[in-house]
Structure 1
Amino acid sequence: MNSPIPHLTLAEILERTIELSQTAAAILKSYYRGSREDLEVLDKTEGPVTVADKAVDRHLLEGITAMCGDSCGYLTEETYQPGDRQLPQDWVWIIDPLDGTRDFIDKTGEYAIHVALTYQHRPVLAVVAIPESDRVYAAIVGGGTYQIADGVRKPVRVATGKQLTDLIVVASRNHRSKKLIELLARLPCQQQLEVGSIGCKIAAIVEHRADLYVSLSGNSAPKDWDLAAPELILTEAGGTFTQQDGSPLIYNQGDVSQWGYRIASTGEWHQQILDVCV
């Protein structure tokens, strides 16, 4: 696959993105260890926003635009405005500077940074950084997923071989609608692990602590920046992440909300889970 920057390969862009994500993680950790008053929490319709979200958003955008210029579009949680149209560029960065803001405020440690580069509405490069575990997950389409921890890089793959009833479902701590609770009760697997950020949920699957994640929209829905980077991290680790009908997720369509069901799994029992969600 080509690159949006003639003098850089996707692998070189990924390395620079990893470095940016690591410095962004340091910024978040500095706010995380401060007082709640320092966060200047602003409650918005879609959830809280803090000065930390905005600081990391600026840091990532400055670094990525310095690298890519106007060869790419930029879609971030902090710069998107309702009613914005689909970005026209083939290459679009989709960024969540702080996924799991509520967990960040409540100091559960389960927050993450999501950075994805998409090409024609599909992710081709992704980084998910989890500051409190000092771990970074990185992937390029077709190249697998690897974890960076303590300066060591290692490839990671999802675990398979479980019976359907033994799968562990990673579920939200803060976002559980009545419909989602009813859906989870219908699943053939009833073991659950509560985790905050979607990035942390997908990391739990890649780390073999969970096997399945189901998202169901209600009055609101996950946004492009919630899912684009975690999706590629999971699929390049051998997992599966689809819409309810089994089709791929599509990004940068104007409406950034991902309505309906979104199912992420190790892939082994994915169709059986989809059947339950009909």
Structure 2
Amino acid sequence: MLTEELIQSVIDISHQAGDKIMAIYQQDFGIYEKSDASPLTDADLAAHNCIVEGLTEVSDLPILSEESADISWQERNSWDTYWLVDPLDGTKEFIKKNGEFTVNIALIKDGVPVFGVVYAPVLKQTYVGILGKGAFKITAGVRADISPKAWTKGETWKIVGSRSHQSPEIQALLDSLEGDTELVAMGSSLKLCLVAEGAAHLYPRLGPTCEWDTGAAQAVVEAAGATVTIIEDATDALRADAAPLRYNQKESVLNPYFLVSC
């Protein structure tokens, strides 16, 4: 089912959606709250329509997108394989114009992200993960395989987190680690990709996310050889028996807290 032709088609679709976003991103606009008339919503919808149209042409699988999230649980519960889409992840990054927002397309099979594409149109970086076949990054047309980098004793921990102050929960996790820690700041689903490519060791998420926020990047992470596991709080973040984050297992599309690690 997941052929090289389909993989390339989905990469192309993510780039086309990125072009739609960039046409709006390059316009002048102020700082605003997301609303039906905002440029951000225009960008969301333009990317959503582009992706849905593109996926429909290459696949007959159902699609769950942030912009079509009103699909009932009764219907979703019957899906074993489907596309999970976030047309534009990174609202704050879009508004701040720092470039760290992404287009996200994932293929979910039996709750597992088996294929994902994360595209950052400003940075011109594309992350691709195929479970069982590895992960790679395309930068300016050049493809390179990626893999996580485990922490070694004496090394500084690189932790993905907020550019602003850390929550008490995150600080508790940092305090529990042996050795020095260094914050690696990044926006949107690129946070997960930093662990996948070995630019960071951990990404603890102790705040709300939805399934479309993480599906594509988790596919990249797990294909690269790292993990995304469920945690209750900072105290059990490094448990070896933590369960993997999975999808479409419940009515709510909210994720539990999780940790990305290698």
1:183 and 1:250 map into 2 onto residues whose CA distance is: 23
2:59 and 2:124 map into 1 onto residues whose CA distance is: 27
SS of equivalent to 1:169: strand
Stretch of structure 1 that moved more, 158-167 or 55-64: 158-167
> Within the alignment, does 1:117 sit opposite 2:107 as a pair?
yes
Mapping of 1:247-266 within 5 angstroms?
Answer: 247-253=243-249, 254-259=251-256, 261-265=257-261
Per the alignment, residue 49 of structure 2 pairs with: 58
Show CA shifts across 1:136-181 (max 9, x none).
Answer: 1112110100111222222111223533762100103479655445
| Cα RMSD (Å) | 2.6
Q: Aligned partner of 2:228: which letter?
A: F
Select which of 221, 227, 249 maps to 1:240: 227
- Please list every run of 5 or more consecutive structure 2 residues that lacks an aligned counterpart in the other structure: 232-240
| CA apart distance, 1:83 | 6.2
Show CA shifts across 1:100-152 (max 9, x none).
Answer: 11111111211111110011111111101111211111121101001112222
Stretch of structure 1 that moved more, 110-119 or 10-19: 10-19
> Within the alignment, does 1:166 sit opposite 2:156 as a pair?
yes
Change (3 A) 1:12 1:102: same
Where has structure 1 moved over 6 Å in runs of 4 or more?
none
Mapping of 1:120-131 within 5 angstroms?
Answer: 120-131=110-121
Identical pairs, percent: 31
Select which of 2, 19, 22 maps to 2:12: 19
1:257 and 1:143 map into 2 onto residues whose CA distance is: 28
- Alpha carbons 2:40, 2:94 under 8 Å: kept: no
Change (3 A) 1:256 1:149: same
Per the alignment, residue 276 of structure 1 pairs with: none
Stretch of structure 1 that moved more, 202-211 or 24-33: 202-211
- Please list every run of 5 or more consecutive structure 1 residues that lacks an aligned counterpart in the other structure: 4-8, 268-278
Select which of 62, 76, 80 maps to 1:73: 62
| CA apart distance, 1:21 | 0.7
Per the alignment, residue 225 of structure 1 pairs with: 212
Aligned length: 248
- Alpha carbons 1:73, 1:93 under 8 Å: kept: yes
2:96 and 2:80 map into 1 onto residues whose CA distance is: 38
- Alpha carbons 1:11, 1:140 under 8 Å: kept: no
